Amino acid sequence: MANKSSLLSLTSYRIEVALRILLAVAGGYVCTVATIIFLVKALPLTRSDAVVISALLSFTIFTLAVIWVFASRNLRRAALGLLLPTVIFGLLGFIFPILGGAQ
Amino acid sequence: MLISFIVSYLGFALLSLSKERHFQQVWPGRKLTPILIRELKVCGWLLLGTSLSHLIQAPKISIGITHLFGIWTFAALLIVMQLTYGASSIVGVRIFSRVFLNRHN
Amino acid sequence: MKNGFRQSMAWLHTWTGLVVGWILFFVFMLGNLGRFDTEIDQWMRPELPIETASLSQSIQAAQQRLQTQASQAETWTIWPATNRDYPNLRIRWEGALNAEGNRKRTDETLDAATAQPVIARETGGGQLLYKMHYALHYIPRGVSDWLIGICSFFMLVAIVSGVITHKKIFADFFTFRPSKGQRSWMDLHVVLATLTLPFFLMITYSGLVFFVFTLFPQVLSAGYGSEKHARETFNNELNALTFIEERSGTPASLTNLSGLIDTVQSRWGADQIRLIEVTNPNDSSARVRVLHLLDSSSRSSQELTFDGVSGHLLDESNGESTSARGFYDHILGLHRGLFGDLTLRWLYFFSGVIGAIIIGSGLVLWVVKRRPKQLKQNKPDFGHRLVEGLNVGTIAGLPIAIAAYFWANRLVPVELTGRQNWEVNSLFVVWLLALMYPLIRPINRAWIEEFWLVSAAFLLLPLVNALTTERNFIHSIATQDSVFLSMDIAALITGVLFAITATNLSRRQQAATGQATVSAKGKRKDINTLNPVEAA
């Protein structure tokens, strides 16, 4: 019995780790992309400067996202924490040019 | 560059001595009092601060910063090596002991 | 996942570090050698003469050669020998942008006296070693950029999570406790990482920046759309290249380039030219840019722009730029470290060596930590064996492979076509053999034997050099040939250091087995024979 339940918990542990890795890599990437696209459009700089600054920040954002995913108490929190900025920045990045922001 | 290295080296030496473990390595049996800790720390940080003067004499500030990080790294590394393989070989220990220890004991 | 923030970070540090550790070890080792790529280049082409021609003579020769070879090229570039990175006169010409958005480039090393290409053995030299640290080998750039980019990103995550994990940064700042097994490995890993953290973080982050437009192409398309020349437009805007003139189509003969030197030297002093770039040569729109040697951590420097036909000075730039671009240039410049004098290069080199030691000790630590548990089982896990083997084959094996590259340079016949490939092949074949060696030997013996092999390979290198070229040790001293002398000495020191490591390791191992036979009970013996590295 004990053996079986520990095997079960090992499997669920492995599944959770796999899910977190997936979330960190894919979710973190998408979140970073949404944020930097927003930054390029929103930064009140010349086009090339905005691109450079956003590019430089990209890995910082990605790192923070990965740390977040692995530090969160549970998967739901981790996913929510990535989803929120992704959606917000994604929308803003889409709306910004229409509102006549930078560029 | 050499002067900055020596100054940083002495600074790190004092900072390491403000830790009980290394203090005992260098001066076994002596007592590390809170006042002494503060003195060692202040002097150590002052010396490290002095090594910032390297930035002024460097041809360009960006080169100065790069140098300084290198200098700090290797000065501290030298201290670590000496603490590990013969703490008494740290340069300046005798002067330090006169300045910091004799007044208190 | 795990209880507590620190525990999760420790887990993250361990596993991100492990999966990319070996590739990063390779990247660090070759990147380090790249600090002296020019010196290695010189050593690997012993036929090349030491440049003696004057600056104006060199530039004249370069112009003459380019005129006969590529009078209609889009750009010419001339690197006179004053450029530290090319000790001999070098030229390049580039054609127009082709359909794929690339330009065809041709490079030549010239003899300034005859204006003819110099003949030296075909070799990848130090440049290839340097190039492999970011582009690997045998695989296309598109793939390697992603690979190295991802690995570097893992490294960044490992660094950040490592810093979070290690809570006692200042308490343990100076502490190293040798001969205490796992404790010592941990101390070594932590002390070195703490001391070189600024360097380590800088080199990793700035290295990543080189790949940012590969990993995040969206950042470029967000600003420039997805047109084909977006990258080119961006570069031009970023570098504020206001002097890109369209070719006018009216032929006009190019001014005598060496005639511009007086103007340049009156501003900068003698021998300060990094390179000369001519756009649209032999056209009325020709422009000549002269760039100053790098003198700050930025990768740009002062430059002068001349009219290519009349030779009049058109523009003078001090190399300063907008803050964003300046920051970007400084980050990339800091990574390359090309601005530095010899002292700085050595600082970079040793910091990088420490970086490699940090990675190596981290990899060993993974094994050491798990060994007690493995020994309780009848057979160690496959994963455990794999990591052990990869550790030996990379940490000890890669130095052997690098030595093999140098050996091949001297031993592969000079006339052989494609010999350059054989040099590289020997590096990778030897590395592969070193990786497989732990399969047929007990892991502890494999460590010691491979370390001895590194030692022998480097100790014998000066001898191989002396037997295959005329520039041996004595000759180098007599002619004050600092490059060859330094290479010989560096090889000897490397050999001695590895010999010391090997002796230490086998002494500790003997002590351990001696102890085991005294205590004589099965499991105890197992632990010790398996643990030579742990004892170090």
Do chains B and C touch, with touching meaning 3 or more CB–CB pairs less than 8 Å apart?
Answer: yes
Alpha-carbon span A5 to C143, nearest angstrom: 43
- Per CB-CB distance under 8 Å, the chain C contacts of B79 are 174
Residue A84 confidence (pLDDT) above 90: yes
What gap in Å lies between CA C438 and CA C436, rounded to an integer? Answer: 6
Determine contact, residues C433/C476, Cβ cutoff 8 Å: no
Neighbour tally for C428: CB within 10 Å: 15
Do B62 and C297 make contact, defined as CB atoms within 8 angstroms?
yes
Q: Best of A49, A69, A72 to disrupt the C interface by mutation (most C CBs within 10 Å)?
A: A49
What interhelical angle do C342-376 and B61-84 show, nearest 10?
40
Gap between the terminal Cα atoms of chain A: 66
Question: Angle, nearest 10°, between helix axes B2-17 and B34-51?
Answer: 160
For C451, counting Cβ atoms within 10 Å of its Cβ (0-12 exposed, 13-18 middle, 19+ buried), the class is: buried
Which of B63, B76, B84 is closest, CB to CB, to C195?
Answer: B76
Sheet-wide strand order for C105-111: C116-117, C105-111, C90-94, C75-79, C273-279, C287-292, C303-307, C313-317
Using alpha carbons, select from C154, C208, C129 the residue that is nearest to residue C21: C154
Cβ–Cβ contact A48 with C under 8 A: yes
pLDDT tens readout for residues C77-96: 999 988 777 888 999 999 87
Going C294 to C295 to C297 to C303, the CA torsion angle's sign is negative
The CA-based diameter of chain A, rounded to the nearest angstrom, is 66
R_g (Cα) of chain C, nearest Å? 27
Identify the three-state secondary structure at position C104: coil
**Residue in this structure with the two tokens 């034997």, named with its chain if needed:** C449
Q: CA-CA distance, B21 to C480, in Å (whole number)?
A: 49
Instruction: Classify the C-alpha dihedral C181-C186-C187-C188 as positive or negative.
Output: positive
Which of the residues C218, C226, C330 would you substitute to probe the A interface, choosing the one with the greatest number of A C-beta atoms within 10 Å? C218
For residue C25, the distance in angstroms to the closest alpha carbon of chain A comes to 21
CA dist B82 and B89 (Å) reads 6
Residue C29 CB contacts under 8 Å (≥ 6 apart), including other chains = C133, C356, C398, C399, C402
> Considering only CB atoms, which chain B residues are within 8 Å of C198?
69, 73
CB C306 within 8 A of CB C267: no
For residues B46-82, one letter each, b for 16 or more C-beta atoms within 10 angstroms of the residue's C-beta and e for the rest, the string is ebbeebeebbeebeeebbbbbbbbbbbbbbbbbbbeb
**Structural element, H or E, at residue C94:** strand C90-94
Say whether C223 and A40 touch across the interface (CB within 8 A): yes
Give me the interface pTM, i.e. the ipTM.
0.88
- Chains B and A are touching, with contact defined as 3 or more CB–CB pairs separated by less than 8 Å: no
Rounded to an integer, what distance in angstroms lies between the CA atom of residue C493 and that of residue C490?
Answer: 5
Nearest CA in chain C to A96: C222
Q: A-chain residues within 8 Å CB-CB of C238? A: 48, 51-52
CB-based contact C175 B76, cutoff 8 Å = no
Q: Are B45 and B15 in contact (CB under 8 A)?
A: yes
CA–CA dist C527, C113 (Å, integer): 67
C443-470 residue pLDDT tens:
999 999 999 999 999 999 999 999 999 8
Q: Which amino acid is at C386?
A: L
Could you tell me which residues come within 8 angstroms of residue C195 by beta carbon, excluding any fewer than 6 positions away? B73, B76, B77, B80, C354
Residue C84: closest CA among C394, C354, C420, C339: C339
Q: Please list, in sequence order, all residues whose beta carbon lies within 8 angstroms of the beta carbon of residue C119, skipping any fewer than 6 positions away.
A: C47
Q: Is C348 on the interface with B (CB under 8 A)?
A: yes
**DSSP letter, residue C194:** H
C170 touches chain B (CB under 8 A): no
B-chain residues near C174 (CB < 8 A): 12, 15-16, 19, 22, 76, 79-80, 83
Query: Taking residues B64-87, what's their average pLDDT?
Result: 89
CB C344 to CB B84 under 8 A?
no
| CA pair distance B76, B9, nearest whole angstrom | 7
Tell me the chain C residues in contact with residue B83 when contact means C-beta distances shorter than 8 Å: 174-176
> Do C223 and A51 count as a contact with CB atoms less than 8 A apart?
yes
CA–CA gap between residue B10 and residue C174 (Å, rounded):
14
> What count of Cα atoms within 13 Å lies in the side-chain half-sphere of residue C529?
11
Distance separating alpha carbons of residues C396 and C360, to the nearest angstrom: 10
The CA distance from C241 to C279, in Å, is: 12
Q: Mutation test of the interface with chain B: which of C174, C293, C294, choosing the one with the most B Cβ atoms within 10 A?
A: C174
Q: Which residues contact A71 (CB under 8 A, 6 or more apart)?
A: C5, C8, C9
Which chains would you list as touching C if contact means 3+ CB atom pairs under 8 Å?
A, B
CA distance C143 to C137: 11
The verdict on a CB contact (< 8 Å) between A36 and C218 is yes
Cβ separation of C234 and A51 shorter than 8 Å? yes
pLDDT value of residue C277: 92
The token pair at C327 is 């920051």
CA torsion, points A47, A51, A53, A54, in degrees to nearest 10?
Answer: 130
Q: Which of B1, B62, B69 sits opposite C343 (nearest CB)?
A: B1
Whether the CB of C344 is below 8 Å from some CB of chain B: the reply is: yes
Chain C nearest C-alpha distance from B46 (Å): 17
pLDDT of residue A100: 56
User: Looking at beta carbons, which residues of chain B come within 8 Å of C183?
Assistant: none
Global model pTM greater than 0.95: no
Smallest Cβ–Cβ distance between A36 and the set C209, C219, C234 belongs to: C219
Output the pLDDT for position C524.
35
B16/C173 CB distance under 8 A = yes
With touching defined as 3 or more inter-chain CB pairs under 8 Å, the answer for chains C and A is yes
Are A52 and C224 inside 8 Å of each other by CB? Answer: no
Residues of chain C with pLDDT under 50: 520-536
Tokens found for residue C478: 């007599």
Give residue C275's Cα distance to chain centre.
22
Q: Are the CB atoms for C311 and C260 separated by under 8 Å?
A: yes
- Give the list of residues 6+ apart from residue C97 with CB closer than 8 angstroms, or none: C74, C103, C229, C232
- Residues in contact with C361: Cβ distance below 8 Å, sequence separation at least 6, in sequence order: C185, C188, C189, C192
Q: Cβ of B77 and C297 within 8 Å? A: no
DSSP string, A60-86: HHHHHHHHHHHHSSSHHHHHHHHHHHH
Note whether B41 contacts C: Cβ–Cβ < 8 A: no
Residues 6+ apart with CB under 8 A from A50: A39, A40, A41, A43, A102, C223, C324
Q: What is the pLDDT of residue B49?
A: 93
Residue B43 — very low, low, confident or very high, per pLDDT cuts 50/70/90? very high
Chain C residues close to B59, C-beta within 8 Å: 295
Which chain C residues are within 8 Å of B80, Cβ to Cβ? 174-176, 191, 195
**pLDDT surpassing 90 at residue B8:** yes
Chain C CB within 8 Å of residue A59 CB: yes
A14 touches chain C (CB under 8 A): no
Q: Give the integer Cα–Cα distance in Å for C331 and C355.
A: 19
Q: Which is more confidently placed, B69 or A95?
A: B69
End-to-end CA distance of chain C: 34
Interchain proximity C237–A48, CB inside 8 Å: yes
- DSSP secondary structure letter of residue C441: S
pLDDT of amino acid B62: 78
